[in-house]
Amino acid sequence: MFNVTHQVSAVQRRIGKRVLEAGEARVLTIGQTYDSTVDDVWDACTNLERIPRWLMPISGDLRLGGRYQLEGNAGGTIESCDPPKRFSATWEFGGEVSWIEVRLSATPDDRTRLELEHVAHVDDQRWAEFGPGAVGIGWDMMLLGLATHLESGRGIDPAESAAWSQSGDGKRFMALSSEQWCQASIEAGTDEAEARAAAARIHAMYTGATPDASAERPSGGE
């Protein structure tokens, strides 16, 4: 079994802002380096037959201008594609539209760096209530699934994945992810008390834990 602390520590997270035509937007960037070639990681991220092995079932037309739908989750339109370097798409969920961009690059040691940028209009009240962990924990779990798939070559069993998310390791993973997004929020200028309160609330939503100090400062483990 993978090391929970190692996986969370292997991921880099940043928070910023960007001005779009519709106004100011929040920008979450998450990245990890994998022991795979750029072509292999690109295929894992863009092949309709392979995506369900690490993410979730998907349908649609994965080409420029095509639409996709993740089962029970977001859908959208492919807005740009430059294989095997980058693609961007709308991320439409719950009646709201945001945008994602995935970028791949080779490292000097022949590994692959993946960065995902998620741009969304989030009002100040909702940001103060839940912070970046509201979507950040989900992206952390996505990178975990990809890491597991690239390392093992196998697919993820949905039942096993659901059971793991409710296990001690799964809850610890989400707690550590929540803490890391909290730190990224503080580094981006959010008041520390506000950031920790938001992290405690979103941690409780993901795990069913009581939103108290223990949720704000999770301990590591394997």
pLDDT in tens, 84-97: 999 999 999 999 99
Q: Are 150 and 40 in contact (CB under 8 A)?
A: yes
Whether the pLDDT of residue 212 is over 80: the answer is: no
Contacts of 33 (CB under 8 A, 6+ apart): 10, 107, 111, 112, 113, 114
Contact (CB, 8 A) for 218 and 170 = no
Q: pLDDT (tens digit, 9 = 90+) per residue, 174-202? A: 999 999 999 999 999 999 999 999 999 99
Dihedral angle computed from the Cα positions of residues 89, 104, 6 and 150, in that order, rounded to the nearest 10 degrees: 90
Task: Please tell me the distance from the alpha carbon of residue 113 to that of residue 56, in angstroms, as a whole number.
Answer: 22
Q: What percent of the chain has pLDDT over 70?
A: 93
Quote the pLDDT of residue 20. 82
Q: Supply the pTM of this predicted model.
A: 0.90
41 token code pair: 């990681």
Distance (Å, whole) CA 47 – CA 196: 38
Q: Greater confidence, 157 or 2? A: 157
Q: Which of 84, 83, 183 is nearest to 133 (CA)?
A: 183
pLDDT of residue 193: 96
Coarse DSSP helix, strand, coil percentages of the chain, rounded to the nearest 5 percent: 40, 30, 30
Task: Locate 62 and state its tokens.
Answer: 């994965």
Least confident window among 42-51, 70-79, 148-157, 207-216: 207-216
pLDDT band at 219 (very low <50, low <70, confident <90, very high): very low
Average pLDDT over residues 63-78: 97
152 compared with 221, residue with greater pLDDT: 152
Mean pLDDT of the chain: 91
Other Cβ atoms closer than 10 A to 98? 19
Confidence of residue 210 (pLDDT cuts 50, 70, 90): low
Q: For 153-163, how does the pLDDT look when each residue is reduced to its tens digit (9 = 90+)?
A: 888 888 888 89
